[in-house]
Amino acid sequence: MPMRAVGGNLWTMRKLLVAIPALNEAPTVGRVISSIPRIMEGLDGIDVLVVDDGSADATAETSRDSGAMVIRHGRNLGLGKAFRTALDFARSNGYHYMVTIDADGQFDPKDIPLLLAPLIRSGADFATASRFLDPELEPKMPALKRWGNRVVARLVSMLSGVTVRDATCGFRAYGPVALEKLSSFSSFTYTQEVIIDLASKGLRIEEVPLKVLAERPVGDSRIAASISRYAVLSLAAMYSTAHDHKPWRFYGIPALILLLLGIACELFVGIRWLLLGMVTPFKGIAISGLFLIVFGALLVLIASLADTSSHNRHLIEQTIAENVRLRRNGQGSDRDRKKTEDDETES
């Protein structure tokens, strides 16, 4: 169990959680854990958590033997769910920072201090490793994969309003405000969704150019095993996050366009009828205009409902953020503190 205290200053220690989502990574996860620095400037303690997402091999046992805490999912729930398990753990246990790193060995754990530097020294809220920010560090990869990464990065940049060069890298650092405010819902992946969510909330995001291996040392990527499935589910996650933050942008603008086109069609037909006493041969335009107005009105209704849902979500997020802040500062409820005492007694 990570070190905690009921009173005193341990609650406010600047502790880091290094979270490693893993699925059947027994050959590499131990090496990743053992390579994580255990002393870093600006930190009072470092813990390692492996979220075993239903592995069928010895991932959990290897992780424990290497000195990491382990949370196991009974079955494979997806990378997004594994990330949320780590996020909930970091929040519940009062961590100041969290770093996520893959278990496959493509990232160098010794680069964690470089990734944390913008948070500790520059006041950034979130930092993500970038494979494409520095041309000298770009890994060799198939042209299709490189093109796909660029397209995703541009799409995320457009939806978030923040320019990013690498939107899919899983080597990331989260500061205290990011841990408080972040929301993630996709079970498949979380990488693009997180950037859009944090940017929409006004948090400061920085990319850190780091060297990343082009291929996994062992096995093949599971998250991108099917390019079509990856594209569809990633687009769904990005759309869900972006439209929830800006419903009037996603529904209101199309609604306005449809309404204006519909009204223009009806005006054209109406003026013709007033002047000539006939609609022929433009009956199709009259019908089309009516449909455009109806669909536009429906989109306005959808935008209004989505806006109400968005307000409710933000209220819930504010409550969660406040609870996370209180836990980290040692001002949690008596029930939280009693649970802490019980956990320490059990451990």
Which residues does 242 contact at the CB level (< 8 Å), separation at least 6?
159, 160, 196, 200, 250
Q: What pLDDT digit, counting tens, does each position of 89-116 carry?
A: 999 999 999 999 999 999 999 999 999 9
Res 241: pLDDT: 76
Res 332: pLDDT: 52
Res 146: pLDDT: 86
Res 76: pLDDT: 94
Res 235: pLDDT: 78
Res 314: pLDDT: 81
Res 308: pLDDT: 87
Q: What pLDDT digit, counting tens, does each position of 313-343 carry?
A: 888 888 989 999 888 887 554 444 444 444 4
Residue spans of the chain under pLDDT 70: 1-13, 214, 216, 219-226, 331-347
Task: Give the type of residue at 319.
Answer: T
Res 269: pLDDT: 93
Q: What is the C-alpha separation between 300 and 64, in angstroms, rounded?
A: 53
Residue linked to tokens 């001002």: 331
Res 129: pLDDT: 96
